[in-house]
Amino acid sequence: MNISQKIETSVTVSEQDMANAIRFLAMDAVQKANSGHPGMPMGMADAVSVLFNRFVKIDPSMPYWPDRDRFVLSAGHGSMLLYAIHHLIGFTDMPMSELAAFRQMGSKTAGHPEYGHALGVETTTGPLGQGIATAVGMAIAEQMMAARFGSSLCDHFTYVVAGDGCLQEGISHEAIDLAGHLKLRKMIVLWDDNHISIDGATKLSTSMNQLARFRAAGWDAQAVDGHDPDAVAKAIDRARKSRKPSLIACRTKIGKGAASMEGSHKTHGAALGDKEIAATREKLGWPHPPFFVPEEIKSAWENVALRGQAVRKAWELRRDTSRSRKRYEQTIGREQGADVARRLAKFRAEHRAKATKVATRQASQMALEVINDATTLTIGGSADLTGSNLTMTSQTAPITAGNFKGRYLHYGIREHGMAAAMNGIALHGGFIPYGGTFLVFSDYARGAIRLSALMGLPVVYVLTHDSIGLGEDGPTHQPVEHLAMLRATPNLNVFRPADIIETAECWEIALTEKATPSVLALSRQALPMLRTAQGEENLSIRGAYVLRETKGPRDVTLLATGSEVEIAIAAADTLRREKGIEAAVVSMPCWEKFEAQDETYREQTLGSAPRIAIEAAGRLGWDRWMGARGSFIGMRGFGASAPAGELYKHFGITAEHAAAEALRLIGHDTGGRRR
Amino acid sequence: MNISQKIETSVTVSEQDMANAIRFLAMDAVQKANSGHPGMPMGMADAVSVLFNRFVKIDPSMPYWPDRDRFVLSAGHGSMLLYAIHHLIGFTDMPMSELAAFRQMGSKTAGHPEYGHALGVETTTGPLGQGIATAVGMAIAEQMMAARFGSSLCDHFTYVVAGDGCLQEGISHEAIDLAGHLKLRKMIVLWDDNHISIDGATKLSTSMNQLARFRAAGWDAQAVDGHDPDAVAKAIDRARKSRKPSLIACRTKIGKGAASMEGSHKTHGAALGDKEIAATREKLGWPHPPFFVPEEIKSAWENVALRGQAVRKAWELRRDTSRSRKRYEQTIGREQGADVARRLAKFRAEHRAKATKVATRQASQMALEVINDATTLTIGGSADLTGSNLTMTSQTAPITAGNFKGRYLHYGIREHGMAAAMNGIALHGGFIPYGGTFLVFSDYARGAIRLSALMGLPVVYVLTHDSIGLGEDGPTHQPVEHLAMLRATPNLNVFRPADIIETAECWEIALTEKATPSVLALSRQALPMLRTAQGEENLSIRGAYVLRETKGPRDVTLLATGSEVEIAIAAADTLRREKGIEAAVVSMPCWEKFEAQDETYREQTLGSAPRIAIEAAGRLGWDRWMGARGSFIGMRGFGASAPAGELYKHFGITAEHAAAEALRLIGHDTGGRRR
């Protein structure tokens, strides 16, 4: 039993006092900002005070100590709950002045909790359901670390506070099904069961028996009065001992304590008003001015930090004397070493020599076979498309409820849950998650992919079947707008490699990114090796490069990505052979990287000749690269169901079309050279 | 009791024979295409044969007869199940030659069932979970029509065949929670409980007790042997009598009947091979050649159509003699009449005279107040943001489990479920659904929005809080990439009106679209009325137009949408006043409509002067309109949490910046005019 498992209570100050401190800080901050959500912090103040006062191990002086408990405020609109606690237990970046600057420019107290913005925020929340689904990943990572290093180095809980919104969102289903299946016994969800959502009573839109629902998913589920500290403590205690993940339904009143508005949905998303707050001070016997907490209450909260500090120091001692220390620190620090890059360089040289022709999804698997051998940090998975995404390698044994030593997660048919779980694994630390689905089903994972980008997490999305090239499955499975959607997302690298060499290069880049997630858009169909030129240099890192230069001045430049680079090369060959026209081919595996190059390189690469962009997707975004005189060959609408080769012809994405368009563009109407 | 409720069985031919016809057609078609999914049609052939043979009312000679039962193949990869049945019961566009052209270019037998492509396909499926969630909308629409016209004109069931994937996807949670809450008693889901998904056994990734889960959501749930016709029939019979929506777990073997591969995940997504099929012919005693069904079995299937035809004719008689006939036909035909346009024109004139300054979300509500009064076809709703999206009007009483006469759905915190339900309502016919959420949460609904577009449904998405202009909620709530994501989607009109006049115009256009869904991106913040010029003409219909022309030649053209048009106008004023520079302002409320204009209009509107695009969103897509010499003022990354005005300044989206950029762009470095 570690120290945090002892139930300690403060002697002089009641948990009611501690909770009231949260309540008034939340009311005051929202009132000052005239913006925000007081209802939830007030409603959950009692339960969360008990959670922190008696259970949570956390040390504000070392916020990212690896074996801390994770606390996830899934109902992120209740951010003042978190900020109030962070102030009270003494996070250095959360003085009272920050609470008074709630939701103001440059403050630490953003409207919703943002990872990396204020210390100790474990994950960005706000889009409902993301927190609970991300927590599943954290709890998985905890079990994986424990399986590797034992409970003396890894033994912590993942606590979640979730609202009705979190539990209504579809992602919650994916999350709790996966958590129940994997028996994530150290995941504990406190549900703010307040019977209120924004439109009014929850009975306007749901009749769900949540306890029965969670039990159906293999969870332990309890219901308690969320304003009864001992009942809450007893439930948490039981949950911590359960062999299953746990739901604790805390029956609460939203805006608990408010003089006249307690229980009303009006407390949810707006300031209560000076008058109501004054009346509430009266009612709760809180004579203090705004943004003031009496010393003894502050001190009771600081005991949480002191307890956490002691636990942290004891843990450090165990770590320092552990024989696994070095390996542990390499893992938690995500130190890959130089092996991955070195072996991928060798891999590229070998396949360049062999001119290996494979689908880029297969190239990805071949690269992963090397990567997963060179580092143990990578954790694979797929949303039930393992044999299509080719995300499994010989090193990645499945992770199961009984065995977390494996390196592969069968995420099930749950793209959104997978993406959020990957975020959680990355946030926990210790691993680099990658997961697969079809590119078109990035739609289903959008909410969590956006958070990968917003949080800047090293997560890799392996998105195969990346165009009409998947063929017969038809328009529901053929991405058309998805590259644009992903490229439009800030801080997300979207890679679309053209052959096995670029695929290995893109994997190498993806794994070296510390604060940017990656998408690998990969073909179903086989693609020839196009990078015939020798050289070890990773050219994809510049985002775009001249794959095929002209003899002398360029007549035209063909821009393409992925499976269409082959078409561009064929068009260039045709133009030279049949018309004596010189076309350069620029492969553009990553627009984001190209955009980051200096202007000289960009201009040199794109050239001043007319440009044709070729991509089996929509045009949106391409005008930037092809310029006003340029031309686009790609999709104008949705795809169709037929074999891939016929589709390319049907939609005119062919070397013949590209060559004809080049002739048209440069005003070349008869045979012979223009110049 | 109507005729379809009588349980009839064919005398000479067993349902086993009928099911085997499906099995062999599926095997043969997939084999010929060497692509497709035989396992599911084979596994569910028995249950679905019972369903059609004894229950479904459907008339292939009149596929869109309004009171038919709806059959939704949510597990869309099993499309051959549907095509086989359509052939067997005599859909005119489904002769045997179409089955033999499965998944080939131009055939009716696309890889996944596509609405509008083959007759009688009720909805496009393939992305898992969409079918079951769309069916919820169909069942809601059925109840709404019944509430308006009585059971003599509307009384049909919505049957769904769903697989494990459908039930694992998060959208299924949103769907079943909503269906249970609304007590959609005529929705019946047959779950193909085959214990197999693509990666292998479902126990690789789920431990869910589905029956308990559905019961927790207020459903009736039964489990039967899916290969026992009478057990299946009994369960369906009970489900039809239940006061709740029903799940029937049909325990099946995937690939049922296959000689050696029965029960294996290998039958899921690939042809079985000639040898296996031959052995299966042997095993099942089916001596017939590929693509052949004996006359008596075909005839048994055709009885389904004959029964359906009789029921349809009886219904037509009731309709023809109904006193509600005219109103019924106007409703089912979605005939709005001229009132909407006329009254919206009046609305615009009034507010032009008053120069009404309101947020466009509020303008939308004011327009809706007129629209909902002028037509009863519109059905509003919101994903629990009614007071923010402003989607409710005085006409839209809520729809509840006991009363479907209302016109407003509290969809709950379920964006994806809402979007799919709106698709279902539109598909059913009789109504025009619109539903609200924040623009940023279009992420959560992406999968269903894409299907709105792919199917071409008259659905309207009211997406408010459309930029950093929402202020303090911060980056999780501020859309940056969403306009690009939606504009990249084919066949989707994305409207971003600049003021109350454009908002009313965009609503008018959205309601007249027959085969294109609409997005209205609306501001949280108040926007001045900018369309000061008189005139009744709907200018938004051209997608973009010159809102403010220059005196004489243009020095620069400012392009903007929505809340940034105000900024463009202010910049133009500043430029004229302070520098004597003439800037035209082009409002671009709908790129898609503008793209559809002829080139002359487009060039005239955009002009030949340098252009600056202003939009509080990412740049992707704008280069097309601003041209190579153009400049973009907008977002370069995610937003931040602060009051809206400060954010606009912080990110440089201001009239000052636009004016300065104009000066830079036209090389105007000192005072005075350039020319």
pLDDT at A571: 98
Site from B35, B214, B443 to mutate, A interface, most A CB atoms within 10 angstroms: B443
B594-629 confidence digits (pLDDT tens): 999 999 999 999 999 999 999 999 999 999 999 988
Tell me whether residues A35 and B474 touch, CB distance under 8 A: no
Q: Which fold has domain A15-317?
A: Rossmann fold (3.40.50)
Alpha helices in B109-217 (DSSP H): 130-149, 164-168, 170-181, 210-216
CB-nearest to A174 from B103, B170, B487 is B170
CB-nearest to B198 from A204, A384, A474 is A384
Q: Please count the residues of chain B.
A: 675
Tell me whether residues B197 and A384 touch, CB distance under 8 A: yes
Q: Which residues of B touch A491 (CB under 8 A)?
A: 637-638
A232-286 confidence digits (pLDDT tens): 999 999 999 999 999 999 999 999 999 999 999 999 999 999 999 999 999 999 9
Task: Give the nearest chain B residue to A170 (CA atoms).
Answer: B170
Task: Give the nearest chain B residue to A77 (CA atoms).
Answer: B473
A604-647 confidence digits (pLDDT tens): 999 999 999 999 999 999 999 999 889 999 999 999 999 999 99
Which H helix or E strand runs over A40? Answer: helix A39-54
Mean pLDDT of the B93-106 span: 98
A543-592 confidence digits (pLDDT tens): 999 999 999 999 999 999 999 999 999 999 999 999 999 999 999 999 99
Mean pLDDT of the B545-562 span: 97
B-facing residues of A in 457-496 (CB < 8 A) are 471-477, 480-481, 484-485, 487-491
Determine how many CB atoms are found less than 10 A away from the CB of residue B536.
9
CA A105 to chain centre: 25
Q: Which residues of A touch B453 (CB under 8 A)?
A: 638
Does residue B371 carry a pLDDT above 90?
yes
pLDDT at A111: 98
CB-nearest to A414 from B114, B168, B440 is B168
CA B192 to chain centre: 25
Task: Give the nearest chain B residue to A621 (CA atoms).
Answer: B621
ipTM surpasses cut 0.95 = yes
Active centre residues of A (catalytic):
415
Which residues, other chains included, contact B402 with Cβ-Cβ below 8 Å and sequence gap of 6+? B183
pLDDT at B534: 77
Indicate the pLDDT class of residue B109, thresholds 50, 70 and 90: very high
Indicate the pLDDT class of residue A670, thresholds 50, 70 and 90: very low
Does residue A24 carry a pLDDT above 90?
yes
Determine how many CB atoms are found less than 10 A away from the CB of residue A34.
12
A457-473 confidence digits (pLDDT tens): 999 999 999 999 999 99
8 Å CB contact between A539 and A594: no
B-facing residues of A in 599-618 (CB < 8 A) are 618
Q: Which residues of B touch A207 (CB under 8 A)?
A: 177, 180-181, 217-218
pLDDT at A12: 78
Structure token digits, residue B544: 């973009």
A-facing residues of B in 374-393 (CB < 8 A) are 382, 384-388
Structure token digits, residue A529: 């090796």
Give how far A637 is from chain B: nearest CA, Å. Answer: 5
Which residues of B are known binding-site members for thiamine diphosphate? 77, 126-128, 165, 194, 268, 441
pLDDT at B675: 38
B-facing residues of A in 6-45 (CB < 8 A) are 33, 35-36
Which H helix or E strand runs over A166? Answer: helix A164-168
In a 10 Å sphere around its CB, with 0-12 CB exposed, 13-18 middle and 19+ buried, how is residue B667 labelled? exposed
3-state secondary structure A335-384: CCCCHHHHHHHHHHHHHHHHCCCEEHHHHHHHHHHHHHHHCCCEEEEECC
Distance CA B620, CA A591 (A): 11
Confirm or reject contact between A649 and chain B (CB < 8 A). no
Tell me whether residues B472 and A36 touch, CB distance under 8 A: yes
Mean pLDDT of the A218-223 span: 98
- Sign of torsion, CA B475 B476 B481 B483? negative
Distance CA B91, CA A445 (A): 37
A-facing residues of B in 157-196 (CB < 8 A) are 164-165, 168-174, 177-178, 180-181
8 Å CB contact between A355 and A529: yes
CATH 3.40.50.920 applies to domain B542-666: yes
Indicate the pLDDT class of residue A535, thresholds 50, 70 and 90: confident
Q: Are strands A220-225 and A246-251 parallel, antiparallel or unpaired?
A: parallel
Q: Which fold has domain B338-521?
A: Rossmann fold (3.40.50)
Tell me whether residues B128 and A212 touch, CB distance under 8 A: no
Q: Three-class SS of residue A272? A: coil
Does residue A1 carry a pLDDT above 80?
no
Q: Are strands A408-410 and A378-382 parallel, antiparallel or unpaired?
A: parallel
A-facing residues of B in 408-427 (CB < 8 A) are 410-414, 416-417
Domain residues of chain A, as ranges? 15-317, 338-521, 542-666
Distance CA B306, CA B328 (A): 26
Q: Residue holding tokens 């405020």?
A: A73
Tell me whether residues B177 and A206 touch, CB distance under 8 A: yes
Distance CA A632, CA A651 (A): 12
Indicate the pLDDT class of residue B669, thresholds 50, 70 and 90: low
Confirm or reject contact between A215 and chain B (CB < 8 A). yes
Tell me whether residues A474 and B126 touch, CB distance under 8 A: yes
Which residues of A are known binding-site members for substrate? 37, 268, 361, 388, 465, 473, 477, 524
B393-440 confidence digits (pLDDT tens): 999 999 999 999 999 999 999 999 999 999 999 999 999 999 999 999
Tell me whether residues B410 and A105 touch, CB distance under 8 A: no
Q: Which residues of B touch A489 (CB under 8 A)?
A: 481
Give how far A237 is from chain B: nearest CA, Å. Answer: 25
Largest Cα–Cα separation, chain A: 95
Among the listed residues A282, A227, A226, A290, the one whose alpha carbon sits nearest the alpha carbon of residue A258: A282
Does residue B192 carry a pLDDT above 80?
yes
Tell me whether residues B111 and A477 touch, CB distance under 8 A: yes
pLDDT at A669: 56
pLDDT at A634: 98
